[in-house]
Amino acid sequence: MATKKKCKCECCGAVDDSFHAPAEALDYLRMNAGAKPEVVGIAWEREDGHIYRYDVYLPRNIQSSAQPFVVHLVERCVKFVLWAAGGWKLYLAGPDWIVQPIAKDYTAKGARKFDYNFFKDLYGKPFEVVIVPYKKMPVTNEREVIVKNNTNGNRIGFDLGASDFKISALKSGKVVFSKEFPWDPRNQPDPEYHYTKLSEGLEAAAQALGGKVDAIGGSTAGTLVGKRLGPASLLRAILEKNPKKKDEARNLFTRIEEEWQVPFEVYNDGDVTALAGAITMKKSGILGVAMGSSEAVGYINPKGALTGRISELAFAPVDLNPDSACDEWSGDAGVGAMYFSQQAVNHLACKYGFKFPKSMKLPERLKVVQEAMEKHDTRALKVYLMIGRYLANAVCWYREFYDFQNLMILGRVTSGLGGDIILETAKMGLEAIAPEIAEEVDVFMPDEKARRLGQSVAAAQIPVVKK
């Protein structure tokens, strides 16, 4: 199935001339499905037999002229579920004209070959696609882990980002050390670099605790299966330039755990973001969206539990327009990283007239836009207004796959006046396009208490230390 086709379907809601909202398209099709809809079943199986299931309801006898759009929409749902939950085996049920081209996409030479190779590598298992009768589709079966914040003892927490990492040390819940360490993991082909840098930060925190450490908790960008890193931007140079060191790189956290010999836990940075919000607000049903060098997402379900989903929504589609901006790594169009990150700010800033030296990196470009916003530059205003409008539509789309009542946004993109504009624009946009969802979902930025907590401090509180 070609991905570079003009989307001309009237049921595709648009933010502007280029953005096409998938939630509106789904609603349109559902409303016209009637009492006996055509149902397409989608399910992804991941580690330990865990399953995420999602059904798409369509009208029967769809006209041939609309079929390419419907296939595209269903494929976007398939891909979203993959990057939300993870998986190595795809189950499909439905009409052949829908499921057959999608099954072909998710092969070694198909349109989704990046996804095929990524998850084959992540799980270390053959990637499978099976087409089954609808009545034989598997049902959702997810792992729920209740995570409580613990403050006893001497604890270290770390938060690994793409341009720096933060280390915090806590003594009986009180922060006694907190520092950011610059690093450049994406361009380092030797995993010893990653280990040495992280070890230096942990040692500095241990010194602040007088050398006694009872537990270590971590937050990291990238995918995790247990404590094993999957394909991630942090390891990109290793995976591309030094693949023989791949296993050594992925076992970074196991190596750290064995060396320190204390209770050790590490989670995806998005999940720790959501956890930080849950700790400070004493709420559950939180989807946390961190807009930094990429988009990091985490989820705490209404029971207050982690679900084991990978929630790598940087690669999950949010825009149906196949001619939208492409992510440079996956090569796919319309994915989250291009709408909720420094990449999004850069793309929009260039569109609205900002000029940057080619040598200027994204964090510096973001600072230029932020400074312009503080001076009420209309070009910067357009950037933040558009991200807010994107976010309003994304709330509706994310609710298709996550049960949440709180959507928390944070990260460097939301700093300063621009963040306030994103937030207020998203709230007003949501009230306009989906008032019933606006009543159910609180879109907010963390308060000062949550900001002080931070991901490294929240991560430090995860491991259980026996009293």
Q: Are residues 89 and 38 in the same domain?
A: yes
Indicate whether 159 and 128 sit together in one domain: no
Residue 28's nearest CA partner among 11, 7, 8 is: 11
**End residue of a domain, out of 87, 120, 136:** 136
Residue 8 lies in a domain: no
Domain assignment present for residue 11? The answer is no
Q: Structure tokens of 441?
A: 């979902």
3-state helix, strand, coil in the chain (%, to 5): 45, 20, 35
The reply to whether 131 and 168 lie within a common domain is no
Q: Is residue 408 part of a domain?
A: yes
- pLDDT at site 5: 39
**Domain check: are 167 and 73 in the same one?**
no
**3-class DSSP assignment, residue 331:** coil
Which residues in the chain show pLDDT less than 70?
1-17, 448-453, 467
Q: What is the pLDDT of residues 94-139, one digit of tens each?
A: 999 999 999 999 999 999 999 999 999 899 899 999 999 999 999 9
- Cβ density class 212-225: b for 16+ within 10 Å, e for less: ebbbbbbbbbbbbb
d(CA 156, CA 184): 22
Domain termination site, one of 85, 107, 136: 136
Residue 384 dihedral angles phi and psi, to the nearest 5°: -75, -35
Q: Are strands 305-306 and 89-93 parallel, antiparallel or unpaired?
A: unpaired
What type of residue sits at position 91?
A: Y
In contact, 313 and 295? CB cutoff 8 Å:
yes
In terms of domains, do 37 and 149 share one?
Answer: no
* Separation CA 317–CA 458 (nearest Å): 29
The answer to the question of residue 286 being in a domain is yes
Judge if 350 and 439 occupy the same domain. yes
Q: Where are the beta strands (DSSP E) in 295-365?
A: 295-300, 305-306
Query: Are 144 and 103 spatial neighbours (Cβ–Cβ below 8 Å)?
Result: no
* Residues 197 and 100 placed together within one structural domain of the fold: no
* Residues 443 and 355 occupy one common structural domain: yes
Give the domain-ending residue among 96, 113, 136: 136
206 and 354 both lie in a single domain: yes
C-alpha pair distances (Å), 89 with each of 97, 103, 123? 20, 11, 10
- Bridge-based pairing of strands 154-160 and 164-171 is antiparallel
Q: Which CATH number does the domain housing residue 413 bear?
A: 3.30.420.40
Which pLDDT value is given to residue 274?
86
Count of domains in the chain? 2
Question: Residue 8: which residues within 8 A CB-CB, separation 6 or more?
Answer: 69
165 and 110, same domain (yes or no)? no
* 178 occurs within a structural domain: yes
pTM, two decimal places? 0.85
What does the pLDDT look like over 21-71, one tens digit per residue?
999 999 999 999 988 999 999 999 999 999 999 999 999 999 999 999 999
Q: What is the pLDDT of residue 3?
A: 39
Whether residues 252 and 177 fall in one domain: yes
- pLDDT at residue 68 in the model: 96
Residue 161 sits in the same domain as residue 275: yes
Distance CA 270, CA 312 (A): 8
Q: Does residue 21 fall inside a structural domain?
A: no
Q: Give the pLDDT of residue 2.
A: 35
Confidence at residue 345, expressed as pLDDT on a 0 to 100 scale: 97
Cα separations in angstroms, 375 against 85, 143, 217, 340, 371: 41, 48, 40, 23, 7
Instruction: Give the pLDDT of residue 11.
Output: 40
Q: Is residue 7 part of a domain?
A: no
Quote the domain boundaries for residue 211. Answer: 143-467
**What is the residue-wise DSSP string for 251-269?**
THHHHHHHHH-S-EEEEEH
Nearest to 45 by CA among 53, 36, 33, 37: 53
Place of tokens 């624009």: 425
Residue 308 lies in a domain: yes
| pLDDT attached to residue 450 | 59
Spatial distance between the Cα atoms of 66 and 127, rounded to a whole number of angstroms: 30
